[in-house]
Amino acid sequence: MAWTEKDVENGKESDPLGNNGFLKGAQSSSGSKGSPGRISPIKKSFEGKDAITYADILRSRNKFVDALAIYESVLQKDSGSIESLIGKGICLQMQNMGRLAFESFAEAVKLDPQNACALTHCGVLYKDEGRLVEAAESYQKALKADPSYKPAAECLAIVLTDIGTSLKLAGNTQEGIQKYYEAIKIDSHYAPAYYNLGVVYSEMMQYDMALNCYEKAALERPMYAEAYCNMGVIYKNRGDLESAIACYERCLAVSPNFEIAKNNMAIALTDLGTKVKLEGDINQGVTYYKKALYYNWHYADAMYNLGVAYGEMLKFDMVILCKALRLSLITTHTIVCALAIDIRAVALCVKELLGYQL
Query: For the chain, which residues make up each domain, given as ranges?
Result: 1-172, 188-255
User: Is 90 exceeded by the pLDDT of residue 336?
Assistant: no
Residues 283-296: what's their mean pLDDT?
Answer: 91
pLDDT tens column, 175-231: 999 999 999 999 999 999 999 999 999 999 999 999 999 999 999 999 999 999 999
- pLDDT value, residue 315: 65
**pLDDT band for position 19 (cuts 50, 70, 90):** very low
User: Is 60 exceeded by the pLDDT of residue 147?
Assistant: yes
Residues 32-52: what's their mean pLDDT?
Answer: 54
Q: How far apart are CA 41 and CA 70, in angstroms?
A: 12
Query: Exposed (0-12), middle (13-18) or buried (19+): which is 178, by Cβ within 10 Å?
Result: middle
Dihedral angle over CA of 226, 231, 233, 236, nearest 10: -150
Q: Any idea which of 84-88, 210-214, 321-325 has the lowest mean pLDDT?
A: 321-325
pTM of the model: 0.76
Residue 231's alpha-carbon distances to 120, 260, 344, in angstroms, are 35, 13, 40
Candidates 91, 125, 83; CA nearest to 108 is 83
- DSSP single-letter state for residue 248: H
Asked whether the beta carbons of 325 and 298 are under 8 A apart, the reply is no
Asked whether the beta carbons of 299 and 271 are under 8 A apart, the reply is no
- pLDDT value, residue 243: 97
pLDDT tens column, 303-317: 888 877 777 667 655
Tell me the helix, strand and coil percentages in the chain, rounded to 5: 75, 0, 25
Give residues with Cβ within 8 angstroms of 324, minimum separation 6. 346
Give residues with Cβ within 8 angstroms of 331, minimum separation 6. none
For the domain covering 1-172, report its CATH number: 1.25.40.10
- Same fold? 1-172, 188-255: yes
Q: How far apart are CA 42 and CA 51, in angstroms?
A: 10
| Amino acid, single-letter form, for residue 332 | T
Residue 215's alpha-carbon distances to 176, 225, 262, in angstroms, are 20, 12, 20
pLDDT tens column, 227-282: 999 999 999 999 999 999 999 999 999 999 999 999 999 999 999 999 989 999 98
Candidates 135, 180, 169; CA nearest to 155 is 135
Tell me how far the alpha carbon of residue 196 is from its chain's centroid: 11
CATH 1.25.40.10 fits 188-255, yes or no: yes
Residue 126's alpha-carbon distances to 91, 132, 136, 180, 352, in angstroms, are 17, 7, 9, 20, 74
